[in-house]
Amino acid sequence: MAMKSTSRKRTPSIVNLTVKRRYLTAREIERLMDRARKHGRYGHRDATMILVAYRHGLRASEVCDLQWQQIELSEGRLHVHRVKSGIPSVHPIRGDEMRALRKLRRDYPKDAYVFVSERGGPIGPIGFHRLVQRLGEAAKMPFPIHPHMLRHACGFKLANDGHDTRALQHYLGHKNIQHTVRYTEMAPNRFKDFWRD
């Protein structure tokens, strides 16, 4: 007796042919930060956390472990300590980020960690993940959001701006350049000047 197949053939649709995007655009980051400012009791802290993670390509654990001793507000520098045996570096801090960090420091003058929970300890990576996910839903993003998308957003933004792959590698703390090349391979602007009229 022959067994009948219980699986049905799926007809392709736009949904199951679409490649999942692994990063956010600058406009989407701004939308997420705007939602953070309006969403909860700690809007400024949450928006600043998203901004710092995005601008410096930080992983969730790196932004959660960020301490004030790593930030030189007077010099406008951030000493980035990488996990996963990444290359540490010193990044510049821009004006809007500097103002946000100064306000955060005034709000939490005695804390060692930059991003502190209600209980006074550092926000953990799981808490940050939940925060970003919640804000993505509140901002009505068309797909689920997670913190690593902020790191990818940084890589794609800098690659699209034409920054050198080797410099981008060091900025993101990659030991292996193969991890950095993905940003330049997928940059939509890479063919922009081909076949100019």
Any idea which residues carry the catalytic annotation?
59, 84, 148, 151, 174, 183
Per the listing, tokens 């392709």 go with: 12
3-state secondary structure 11-47: CCCHHHHCCCCCCCCHHHHHHHHHHHHHHCCCHHHHH
DSSP string computed for 49-71: HHHHHHHHT--HHHHHT-BGGGE
Q: Token pair for residue 184?
A: 């330049």
User: Among positive and negative, which fits the CA dihedral 80, 82, 88, 92?
Assistant: negative
Rounded CA gap, 196 and 147, in Å?
Answer: 38
